[in-house]
C-alpha cells in the first residue's frame, strides 16, 4: 500500500472543525442524494469483490451496504480507483467521484482499510519540513488527533481522527478494532459536503457495514 508524503500543516482546518464537533450531537441537514438519510437493513449487495478480498487476505473484511451518491461499494467498478493489498495482507479500497464546478472541483471520496493481525495505528507516513533549504522527513502516525469515540447501531465502537495522512489526507476517519485487527473508514471533507455532513455519512456507513468472512 503506498502512502503519499504529506506535511502536517495540511490538516489544520480539520483540527479546528473537529474541535467544534460533538460525536454524540445531532447530524446537520444535508443535500439530497449526497449524504446520510434513513438507512435500510444492512446487506452487502455487491458481495463478490468483498468475498474475493476476504479470501485473498484470509481475514474478515467490512462491506458497506451504502455509500454517498454517486458511489457504489462494488470492488472493480468505475468508482473504485484503488484496489490494493500489501504483502502483510493489509488492504486499501478507495472509491472516488470528481466533477468540475466552475473554478472549483467537487469530490466524494471514501476509503476503507483493514490491517489483519495489527491493532496499532500505522506509523508509516511522513512529516516533511524544509529548513534553510534542507529537507527533513520524520515518520509519524497515519491517523492523528483523536476526537472521542462513537458506538454504532451494529456494535462497532469507533474512534474519530481529524488529522490524517497518506491517502486519507483531508479526510475524517473512524477506526475500530475487531479480533486483534484494525479497520478504518474515512471520507474527504470537500465540496459539496461540509465537515458535519461527512461525519453523518461516516456514521451511516459504519451502521451499515456487513462483515464478510473468508470462505
Domain boundaries, the chain: 67-205
DSSP H or E run through 133: none
pLDDT of amino acid 22: 45
> Does the pLDDT of residue 100 top 60, yes or no?
yes
> Does the pLDDT of residue 98 top 70, yes or no?
yes
Q: Report how far residue 192's alpha carbon sits from residue 3's, in angstroms, rounded to the nearest whole number.
A: 26
Q: Report how far residue 2's alpha carbon sits from residue 78's, in angstroms, rounded to the nearest whole number.
A: 21
CB-based contacts of 5, cutoff 8 Å, min separation 6: 125, 126, 128, 137
> Which one has a higher pLDDT value, 190 or 134?
190
pLDDT of amino acid 35: 52
CB-based contacts of 151, cutoff 8 Å, min separation 6: 157, 158
Q: Which residues of 162-197 are buried (b: 16+ CB within 10 A; e: fewer)?
A: bbbbbbbbbbbbbbbbeeebbbbbbbbbbeebbbbb
pLDDT tens column, 5-55: 333 334 444 544 554 454 554 444 444 455 554 545 799 999 999 999 999
Distance from chain centroid for Cα 149: 15
The angle formed by the CA atoms of residues 16, 192 and 39, to the nearest 5 degrees, is 95
> Does the pLDDT of residue 81 top 70, yes or no?
yes
pLDDT of amino acid 18: 52
Smallest Cα–Cα separation from 122: which of 93, 92, 152?
92
pLDDT of amino acid 27: 45
Q: Are 73 and 95 in contact (CB under 8 A)?
A: yes
pLDDT tens column, 102-161: 778 899 999 999 999 999 999 999 888 888 888 888 899 999 999 999 999 999 999 999
Provide the β-strand partners of residue 64: 209
DSSP string, 152-180: -TTS-EEEEEEEE-GGGTTEEEEEEEETT
Q: How confident is residue 4, by pLDDT bands cut at 50, 70 and 90?
A: very low
pLDDT of amino acid 17: 52
What are the start-end ranges of the E strands in the chain? 61-64, 82-85, 91-101, 104-115, 125-131, 134-140, 143-151, 157-164, 171-178, 181-188, 209-212
Enter the C-alpha cell of residue 49: 469483490
Amino acid at each position: 500500500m503506498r502512502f503519499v508524503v504529506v506535511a502536517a500543516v495540511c490538516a489544520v482546518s480539520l483540527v479546528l472543525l473537529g474541535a467544534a464537533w460533538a460525536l454524540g450531537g445531532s447530524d446537520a441537514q444535508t443535500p439530497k442524494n449526497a449524504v446520510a438519510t434513513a438507512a435500510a437493513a444492512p446487506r452487502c449487495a455487491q458481495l463478490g469483490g468483498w468475498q474475493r478480498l476476504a479470501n485473498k487476505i484470509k481475514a474478515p473484511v467490512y462491506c458497506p451496504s451504502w455509500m454517498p451518491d454517486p458511489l457504489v461499494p462494488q470492488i472493480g467498478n468505475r468508482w473504485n480507483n484503488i484496489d490494493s493489498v500489501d504483502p502483510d495482507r493489509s488492504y486499501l479500497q478507495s472509491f472516488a467521484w470528481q466533477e468540475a464546478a466552475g473554478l472549483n472541483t467537487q469530490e466524494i471520496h471514501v476509503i476503507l482499510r483493514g490491517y489483519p493481525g495489527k491493532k496499532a495505528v500505522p506509523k508509516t507516513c511522513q512529516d516533511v519540513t524544509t529548513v534553510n533549504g534542507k529537507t527533513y522527513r520524520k515518520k509519524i502516525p497515519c491517523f492523528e488527533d483523536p476526537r472521542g469515540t462513537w458506538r454504532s447501531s451494529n456494535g462497532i465502537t469507533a474512534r474519530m481522527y481529524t488529522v490524517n495522512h497518506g491517502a486519507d489526507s483531508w479526510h475524517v476517519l473512524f477506526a475500530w478494532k475487531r479480533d486483534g485487527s484494525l479497520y478504518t473508514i474515512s471520507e474527504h471533507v470537500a465540496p459539496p459536503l461540509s465537515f458535519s455532513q461527512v461525519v453523518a455519512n461516516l456514521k451511516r456507513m459504519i451502521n451499515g457495514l456487513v462483515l464478510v468472512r473468508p470462505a
